Structure 1
Amino acid sequence: MHTQTPVTRAGRSVKVASVAGLALLAGLLSGGGSAADESPGPVSLAAACGTEKSDVAAVAAAVALSVDVPDSGEVDRPVQPGPVSFGLTLSRADLAALLPEGAEAVVSRAALKVKVAQNGESAEASWELNAPSTPLPADGDVTLVHSGEVPYVTFGSAGDVDFSLGEFTVELRSATAAPEESAPPLATVTCRLKEGENGHVATTHVTAPGGIEPSSSPGTPATPADGAAGGKDKDITVEPAAADEDDPDWCPVEPPVGDVDGSEAPQPPPGAPVKETNLPGVFMCANALGLANVQKLNGAMIINDPDAPALISVMSTKRTTNRKASEEGGLYTRIDSIATLDLPDAESTFLTFGFQPVTAKVSFENGPMTISIGSVNPGTGKVDFSTVYFQQSLRLHDVRINGTPLDVGDNCRTSKPFKVVLDGGDSYKNVALGGVLEGEVDIPAFTGCGSGGEDLNPLFTASISGPGNRVFMNQAPTCNPANPTRSYCPPPLPELPGTKPST
């Protein structure tokens, strides 16, 4: 039995039912997306903060840290925590003492020192997060909500892993300064957790390759007796590797361009203001394979060629959107990435009316893909949605019926771009780890089909156009060419959806 009952396959042979299947071939290959494993919600901690000019324990602060960490990982394969949401709450009076007189709003950057401990060894990961402009009220408390994606961690041995927060610093900058200005921060606040706070954030379990457990169960993660971070370099690796000029071109695609469009992602419910921050992003690439069901002709076909797949170009974390939890509404966090997929013309043979062999080529025009991940779950902070959205048009040409050319003209295409929205549900991971996405496509009517006065638009519209065309995509983990040894380079191939038996 296949996991996707509308899809049927026998080995590598797939019955391609119609031009509609061909039309879905390339443009529906979306890239990343995201939804990590569930976490119990934000960790609440108490901290004491100060500046170089004051006692570090002079200011009391409240911390709310939320991060999704996979339940399990494998030795020598990157484990990707995140995305991360980090809220720091200070009183307006304490902020007034740190900032110049008359400051009405600030932007901030948080640098968190996170201890990663396993089998008595530990290393330190640096999590760099950003908060958009935050207005400063006349009194009361001020919460600075930071977010972002954080580095991979690779483990050289099996065992339980503990992530815990240590010291952190927050730079407060003028909200009116241009992003390119390099003026020093208005204030730099250093914070340490108060006595009695252990800083535990998350736990994951690392197995040997293939999920094999070690012969003896490792002990509870612990910090070395001297308290030093580091341990054996080969056991826990969190620092990015330097790029080698002689390295292969792991991602032979251009970085994506275009504007982020998060309109199809779940939007924040009415309530407190939402803040957006634009970021430079991180270039990555990945492979994805899928199957598309054709509703009208009860058939399906493979999306992308498993033998020579086209790569998805991804710029991860281009924009963050945040809203703090309040009486007006719950916590909202969204991270948008942008991706592109450019495929050559595809060719396939299909059957119309169940017996007539037809061969055709299709050209695809895909708009930029927006990959949105985040949470609209009030107060929990867990990642609970992943959405991929883009617009697509298609053009048909070089059509042959039983070997005889059918002149459809040079501009036989969908009458307008159509919307492609894919949902990751509980299975799709973040942009770095990938996963399965699915959705439905409504193909519009065709126009410009035919030549010599012959109108073939009704034929293609009747046999192809319409709603209910299911799409199933599986994106593999991404390759980060700047850090190939810390990511999945060369980009691996994922399993084709519907080929793995149900358990």
Structure 2
Amino acid sequence: MKVASVAGLALLAGLLSGGGSAADESPGPVSLAAACGTEDSGEAAVAATVALSADVPETGEVNRPVQPGPVSFALTLSRADLAGLLPEGAEAVVSRAALKVEVAQNGKSAVASWELNAPSTSLPADGDVTLVHTGEVPYVTFGSAGDADFSVGEFTVELRSAAGDPEEAVPALATVTCRLKENGSGHLATTRVTAVGGDEPSRAPETPSTPAGGSAREDDKDIAVEAPAADDEDADFCPIEPPEGEVDGSDAPQPPPGGPVRVMELPGVFMCANAMGLANVRKLDGAMIINGGSAPALISVLSPKLATVRSSNQEGGGYTRYDSLANLDLPDAESTFLTFGFQPVTAKVSFETGPMTISIGNYISPAGRETFSLASFYQSLRLHDVKVNGTPLDVGSDCRTSKPFKVLLNGGDKYTNVGVGGLLEGEIDIPPFTGCGTGGEDLNPLFTASLSGPGNRVVMNQASTCVPTNPTRSYCPPPPAELPGTKPAT
């Protein structure tokens, strides 16, 4: 079993496919009671409560990464207890939580470090203070089949002043170490791991060895905790700029009424991934490949940029949503269709795509957990290099859709999270065309009649992301994306 660090794997708080456990059906955040103390305090003296939301996939396959979604970790302490840890006059803090998560399977175990951060939190005069930490966590690779349990025991929290420069290292005001109270269960989830294809192995799996640079427990030398080997540190794995624009999560399901909602701006982690897609043109009864293997489209992502969280203890149930900002620069696509059923027309299509928001989240209520994932952006199409039955047709330099149109793609259970990627599907309504034709010839009605209208299906497959700043360089350079509808490589 290998635990590999993948900093910044997102939206985006996984919180996606399959929440909870394969062994039980009690979705929702895990509530824990802990006792915390500093190194100087000796015995732990501070009581704390924790609400930990971590969507761990219910199923996985041998030797393939199992990626828990980004995690939400809300730590609640009393203001009076915090006063004993912080200097007098502190009005706000930022904090960092480091969780030790044990992953156990078939009598073996390894420890994964989950490092999460909370933005500046104001400190009230009295009452309780809740520090909401979020972040992406390592993936786990299992070398054999069997149920794998994830559980948390000890964690530490560093408290820092919120008044300093966020770009500079600020010494911790206090570091507290917390352990679950006696008889407390830190079980988070169970993943059922099968052989590739879902079958149980026909023979006993080989025992993994401890890699160079890895670590293992004294009683479990064959359980490796490692990171993949890094490539050249100077390699530019993401030859694109970080995305620009603003996130817009208005197309995502919104929090149900009842109870306050906390919205947190996050710095986001820069990453990139290959994407490939298909677009149907309903009127022409055909489809075009949006980008082929010889012209890969890199999607640039900052993930996550915005977190919207509401406690599940409030009326209406819990809600968590992570929004990531992305830019997708698509190459020109070229396709041939039979216009009106008999006339072969070849054209190149340029895609002008605005900022993309990828939203991932879930609702948590007594009735269960409902997850969602979607990507939304505006796009315009421009036609050029048109040929009718092999003869060039001059459509001018500005033959395009009359206005940008909304593209809304849903992932369902096929899009795991921004880090792992997956399929996103939807339908678009192509607007009428304008600017088509030269020398007084109006070709707008021709393209509007043959292309414009609703019901045009779009399918995009995003491969795993490369995080160039991650020392492990997992999935770098970014792997190719599979064309939707084809069988993924094994």
Structure-2-length-normalised TM-score: 0.83
| Residues 110 and 169, structure 1, Cα contact 8 Å, conserved in 2 | yes
Are 2:267 and 1:279 equivalent residues in the alignment? yes
| Residues 145 and 194, structure 2, Cα contact 8 Å, conserved in 1 | yes
Q: 1:232 to 1:370 in 2, by over 3 A?
A: farther
| Residues 273 and 463, structure 2, Cα contact 8 Å, conserved in 1 | no
| Residues 156 and 234, structure 1, Cα contact 8 Å, conserved in 2 | no
Which residue among 99, 117, 140 is the counterpart of 1:112?
99
After superposing the two structures, state which structure 1 stretch, 357-366 or 155-164, moved more: 155-164
Aligned residue for 1:15?
none
1:252-267 matched pairs, under 5 angstroms: 253-267=240-254
- Name structure 2 gaps, 5 residues minimum: 1-9, 21-26, 206-215
Q: 1:37 to 1:233 in 2, by over 3 A?
A: farther
| Residues 393 and 416, structure 1, Cα contact 8 Å, conserved in 2 | yes
Higher relative contact order (CA 8 A, sep 6+): 1
Are 2:335 and 1:352 equivalent residues in the alignment? no
Are 2:348 and 1:361 equivalent residues in the alignment? yes
Q: 1:199 to 1:435 in 2, by over 3 A?
A: same
Q: 1:345 to 1:72 in 2, by over 3 A?
A: same
* Deviation of the 1:438 alpha carbon: 1.4
* Deviation of the 1:325 alpha carbon: 4.1
Give the partner amino acid of 2:19: E
Counterpart-to-counterpart distance in 2, 1:129 and 1:379: 27
Which residue among 83, 89, 92 is the counterpart of 1:96?
83
Are 2:122 and 1:135 equivalent residues in the alignment? yes
- Name structure 1 gaps, 5 residues minimum: 1-30, 219-227
* Deviation of the 1:120 alpha carbon: 2.4
SS of the equivalent of 1:82 reads coil
Q: 1:56 to 1:324 in 2, by over 3 A?
A: farther
Counterpart-to-counterpart distance in 2, 1:439 and 1:233: 48
Counterpart-to-counterpart distance in 2, 1:378 and 1:303: 40
Counterpart-to-counterpart distance in 2, 1:216 and 1:143: 49
SS of the equivalent of 1:263 reads helix
* Deviation of the 1:322 alpha carbon: 2.8
| Residues 256 and 340, structure 1, Cα contact 8 Å, conserved in 2 | yes
Are 2:55 and 1:68 equivalent residues in the alignment? yes
User: Deviations 1:460-486 (Å, cap 9, x if unpaired)?
Assistant: 223222223222233333344546775
After superposing the two structures, state which structure 1 stretch, 403-412 or 318-327, moved more: 318-327
Structure-1-length-normalised TM-score: 0.81
Q: 1:164 to 1:327 in 2, by over 3 A?
A: closer
Aligned residue for 2:18?
37
| Residues 75 and 208, structure 1, Cα contact 8 Å, conserved in 2 | yes
* More strand, by proportion: 2
| Residues 132 and 275, structure 1, Cα contact 8 Å, conserved in 2 | no
| Residues 347 and 359, structure 1, Cα contact 8 Å, conserved in 2 | yes
Q: 1:124 to 1:294 in 2, by over 3 A?
A: same
Give the partner amino acid of 1:122: S
User: Deviations 1:53-81 (Å, cap 9, x if unpaired)?
Assistant: 32442011111111111122223222111
Give the partner amino acid of 1:36: S
Q: 1:250 to 1:98 in 2, by over 3 A?
A: closer
After superposing the two structures, state which structure 1 stretch, 295-304 or 415-424, moved more: 295-304
Are 2:477 and 1:494 equivalent residues in the alignment? no
* Deviation of the 1:191 alpha carbon: 0.5
Counterpart-to-counterpart distance in 2, 1:396 and 1:488: 34
Q: 1:176 to 1:90 in 2, by over 3 A?
A: same
| Residues 42 and 380, structure 1, Cα contact 8 Å, conserved in 2 | no
| Residues 122 and 230, structure 1, Cα contact 8 Å, conserved in 2 | no
Are 2:397 and 1:416 equivalent residues in the alignment? no
Q: 1:183 to 1:306 in 2, by over 3 A?
A: closer
Are 2:178 and 1:197 equivalent residues in the alignment? no
Q: 1:415 to 1:56 in 2, by over 3 A?
A: farther
Q: 1:244 to 1:434 in 2, by over 3 A?
A: closer
Identity across matched positions, percent: 69
Q: 1:247 to 1:172 in 2, by over 3 A?
A: closer
What is the CA RMSD across the aligned residues, in angstroms? 3.0
| Residues 317 and 336, structure 1, Cα contact 8 Å, conserved in 2 | yes
Which residue among 475, 482, 485 is the counterpart of 2:462?
475
| Residues 122 and 231, structure 1, Cα contact 8 Å, conserved in 2 | no
Which residue among 116, 131, 140 is the counterpart of 1:144?
131
Give the partner amino acid of 2:144: S
Which residue among 438, 450, 459 is the counterpart of 2:425?
438
| Residues 364 and 394, structure 1, Cα contact 8 Å, conserved in 2 | yes
Which residue among 169, 186, 190 is the counterpart of 2:173?
186
Counterpart-to-counterpart distance in 1, 2:328 and 2:204: 44
Q: 1:209 to 1:329 in 2, by over 3 A?
A: closer
